């Protein structure tokens, strides 16, 4: 791409969202050697983004060059995190499109609200940037597929933020399942029991000073500002988040799917409701889901998933985790870095291990080599795990079982359910259709 084309990118995107659907590049213009500094822009710096900037700023050969967030009130405190760890002062901007037009930026690390994940990743791929994108990578099924397509079409490295895949212990656990440590595996059960209190009810109010609210809304419908739809509580609203199944639960959904060795199911049955609290949350806070894989394993496999937000027991030490059941025993993964096998009717302890990993370093290694095979959590896998969360939510939302075609990624003969496969995007923040 010529310098003139790149300089016109920001101008074109501001004028029309369609510019992003036709923008095509090969690379960021820099060939990275073993000793080159990789310049990373971190987008979304309120919560999880602090971990992103801290990890990258403290890494040899990596520089956090930009911080991006619609809330400029965060810039001073977050810049200090980067300066203290990395020694440089990052440039702070409110609009990701300013970063995409900068040839010196090699990668974008995304920790924004869920409704921005796919669009920002597609835009970054089109602008020749590699991407680390937080879970879930998508707000709906269709846009997640466009994200995957973009990573391949523009030959970009895209890592999904399901960092458990970089855990040495969990990698070992997956191999032991494949080796038959608990016999024939027939079921995985994911648990997401997080303490989620009431958020109460708050009235709409003026946009706080320093917040560019139109940019924060992005692809979502225009709506008055409300503090209960901002900052962390956006997770519980349909327009921006995916409830706890798509927040915490996507980690455990990913491990459950990985251990079973499955992709997308042929059917899903979910029951969900707002059983506790009279507040402004929209997404059900209690969801029970079952995903059917009739062609997996010897006699089919099933993945079940439980979300509940309040008083609860643990299950063999796990409140957030995954249990795998087999013909000879079961395995418990009760953290991001620990597993334990129990064998036979007496539940005698088998293999176990506790050791984590560095997901950020894995991403940088793949970026430096420009080799997606190095990634522990390639976006192709992240998309499938996010899809399961969307399937479970749609079934719960409609209150009935749904048949699904894994090849087309659409519900079978169900116009009502297929309305939730995508969404109406607010111009110019439109996720483009990417053909590969």
Tracing tokens 């998508």 back to the chain, one arrives at 138
Q: How does pLDDT run across 209-247, given as a tens digit for each residue? A: 999 999 999 999 999 999 999 999 999 999 999 999 999
Question: Which tokens go with 309?
Answer: 């937000």
Tracing tokens 């309305």 back to the chain, one arrives at 419
Residue 151 contacts residue 419 (beta carbons within 8 Å): no
Angle at 69 between CA 63 and CA 71, to 5 degrees: 135
pLDDT computed for residue 32 by the predictor: 64
Count Cβ neighbours within 10 Å for each residue of 320-346 and write b for 16 or more, e otherwise: bbbbbbbeebbbbbbbbbbbbbbbeee
Listed by start position, the domains of the chain span 3-164+360-378, 167-199+226-355+390-413
Q: How confident is the model at residue 33 (pLDDT cuts 50, 70, 90)?
A: low
Question: Which tokens go with 148?
Answer: 């995957």
Cβ neighbours around 280 below 10 Å, total: 17
The answer on pLDDT for 27 being more than 60 is: no
Mean pLDDT of 120-138: 98
CA distances to 7, 42, 185, 205 from 209, in Å: 30, 22, 55, 12
3-164+360-378: CATH architecture: 3-Layer(aba) Sandwich (3.40)
Homologous superfamily of 167-199+226-355+390-413: Dihydrodipicolinate Reductase; domain 2 (3.30.360.10)
DSSP 228-252: GGSGGGGGGSTTT--TTTTTTHHHH
Cα gap 276→297, rounded to integer Å: 38
DSSP 292-329: EETTSTTT-EEEEEEEE-SS---BTTBSEEEEEEESSE
The residues, ordered by sequence, that sit 6+ positions from 267 with a Cβ below 8 Å of its Cβ are 291, 292, 401, 402, 403, 404
Q: The whole model's pTM is what?
A: 0.92
Cα gap 118→139, rounded to integer Å: 7
Identical fold, 3-164+360-378 and 167-199+226-355+390-413: no
Residue 303 contacts residue 187 (beta carbons within 8 Å): yes
Q: Number of C-alpha atoms within 13 angstroms, CB side, residue 191?
A: 21
Q: How confident is the model at residue 36 (pLDDT cuts 50, 70, 90)?
A: confident
pLDDT computed for residue 298 by the predictor: 85
**282 CB-contact burial (10 Å; exposed 0-12 / middle 13-18 / buried 19+):** middle
Mean pLDDT of 113-121: 98
The answer on pLDDT for 257 being more than 90 is: yes
């Amino acid at each position: 791409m010529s310098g003139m084309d790149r300089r016109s990118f920001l101008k074109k995107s501001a004028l029309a969202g369609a510019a992003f659907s036709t923008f095509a590049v090969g690379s960021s213009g820099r060939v990275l050697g073993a000793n080159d500094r990789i310049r990373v822009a971190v987008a979304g710096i309120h919560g999880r983004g602090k971990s992103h900037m801290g990890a990258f700023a403290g890494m040899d050969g990596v520089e956090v060059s930009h911080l991006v967030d619609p809330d400029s009130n965060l810039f001073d405190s977050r810049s200090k995190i980067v300066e203290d760890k990395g020694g440089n002062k990052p440039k702070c901007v409110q609009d990701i499109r300013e970063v995409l037009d900068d040839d010196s930026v090699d990668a974008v690390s995304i920790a924004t609200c869920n409704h921005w994940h796919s669009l920002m990743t597609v835009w970054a791929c089109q602008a020749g940037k590699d991407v680390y994108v937080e879970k879930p990578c998508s707000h709906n099924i269709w846009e997640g597929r466009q994200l995957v397509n973009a990573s391949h079409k523009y030959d970009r490295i895209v890592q999904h933020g399901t960092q458990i895949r970089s855990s040495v212990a969990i990698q070992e656990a997956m191999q032991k399942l494949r080796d038959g440590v608990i016999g024939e595996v027939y079921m995985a059960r994911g648990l997401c029991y997080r303490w989620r209190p009431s958020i109460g009810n708050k009235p709409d109010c003026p946009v706080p000073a320093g917040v560019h609210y139109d940019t924060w809304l992005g692809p979502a419908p225009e709506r008055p500002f409300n503090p209960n739809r901002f900052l962390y509580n956006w997770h519980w609203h349909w327009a921006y988040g995916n409830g706890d199944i798509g927040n915490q639960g996507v980690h455990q959904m990913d491990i459950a799917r990985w251990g079973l060795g499955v992709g997308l199911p042929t059917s899903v049955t979910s029951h969900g409701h707002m059983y506790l609290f009279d507040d402004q949350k929209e997404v059900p806070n209690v969801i029970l889901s079952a995903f059917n894989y009739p062609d997996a394993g010897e006699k089919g496999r099933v993945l079940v998933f439980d979300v509940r937000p309040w008083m609860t027991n643990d299950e063999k030490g796990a409140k957030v985790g995954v249990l795998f059941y087999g013909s000879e025993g079961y395995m418990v993964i009760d953290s991001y870095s620990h597993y334990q096998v129990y064998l036979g009717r007496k539940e005698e302890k088998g293999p176990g291990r506790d050791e984590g990993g560095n997901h950020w370093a894995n991403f940088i290694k793949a970026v430096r080599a420009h080799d997606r095979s190095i990634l522990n959590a390639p976006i192709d896998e992240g998309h499938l795990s996010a899809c399961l969360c969307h399937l479970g939510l749609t079934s719960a939302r409609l209150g009935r079982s749904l048949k699904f075609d894994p090849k087309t990624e659409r519900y079978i003969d169900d116009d009502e359910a297929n309305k939730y496969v995508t969404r109406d995007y607010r111009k110019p923040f439109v996720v483009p259709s990417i053909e590969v």
